[in-house]
Structure 1
Amino acid sequence: MTHDPDIPSADTGLRQRKKDQTRQALLDCAARLFRERGFADTTVADIAACANVSTRTLFRYFETKEDLLLPDVEDLFAAVETALVAQPHDQPPMQAVCRAVLEGMLPFATSGLAGALSRPLAGTETLIAARMSQAFVAFEERLTRLVAQRLPQNVGDADLHAALIAGTALAAVRAAMRTSRARRAADPQSEAAGLLPQALRLIQEAGIPCS
Structure 2
Amino acid sequence: MSTPTAPTADSDKQAQARLEVSRHACALFWERGFAGTSGDDIAAAAGLSTRTVWRYFRSKESCVEPVLAQSAHRFIELAWQWPPELSLAEHMAAHMAAHPLTAQQIADEVSALRIATMSTSDPALRTAYLMVHDEMERAFVPVLARRLGLPEDHLTARLCAAAVTGAFRVIDEDVGHRAIIKKEKVTQEEALALIDLAIRDATNGRVGGPVSP
Shorter-chain TM-score bucket reads 0.5 to 0.7
Match of 1:188 in 2: 182
Q: Are the structure 2 counterparts of residues 18 and 141 from structure 1 closer, same or farther at C-alpha, using a change threshold of 3 Å?
A: closer
**2:195 equivalent in structure 1:** 203
Q: 1:131 aligns with which of 128, 132, 148?
A: 128
- Do the aligned residues in 2 keep the contact of 1:70 with 1:116 (CA within 8 Å)? no
After TM superposition, give the deviation of residue 66 of structure 1 in Å. Answer: 0.6
Q: 1:141 to 1:114 in 2, by over 3 A?
A: same
Q: TM-score w.r.t. structure 2 length?
A: 0.63
Distance 1:103 1:165, change over 3 A: farther
Q: Match of 1:116? A: 115
Shift of 1:53: 1.6
CA apart distance, 1:113: 0.5
| C-alpha spacing 1:87/1:134, structure 2 compared with 1 (3 Å) | same
Question: Contact (CA 8 Å) 1:27, 1:71: kept in 2 or not?
Answer: yes
* Partner amino acid, structure 1, of 2:144: V
Look up the match of 1:53: 48
C-alpha displacement of 1:68: 2.5
Q: Does the 8 Å contact 1:97/1:147 carry over to 2?
A: no
Q: Give aligned pairs, total.
A: 191
1:135-154 map, 5 Å: 135-152=132-149
Alignment of 1:70-85 (within 5 A): 70-85=65-80
The 8 Å contact of residues 87 and 96 in structure 1, kept in 2 or not, is answered as yes
Aligned-CA RMSD value:
4.2
- 2: CA distance between counterparts of 1:25 and 1:48? 11
Show structure 2 runs of 5+ residues with no match.
201-207
Structure 1 gap segments, 5+ residues each = 1-5
| Residue range with higher mean Cα deviation, 163-172 or 200-209 | 200-209
- Percent identity between the two aligned chains: 24
Q: Post-superposition shift, 1:38?
A: 3.1
Q: Deviations over 1:141-187 (max 9, x none)?
A: 222133334443xx5896123113312322321232333345458x7
Q: Which amino acid aligns with 1:115?
A: R
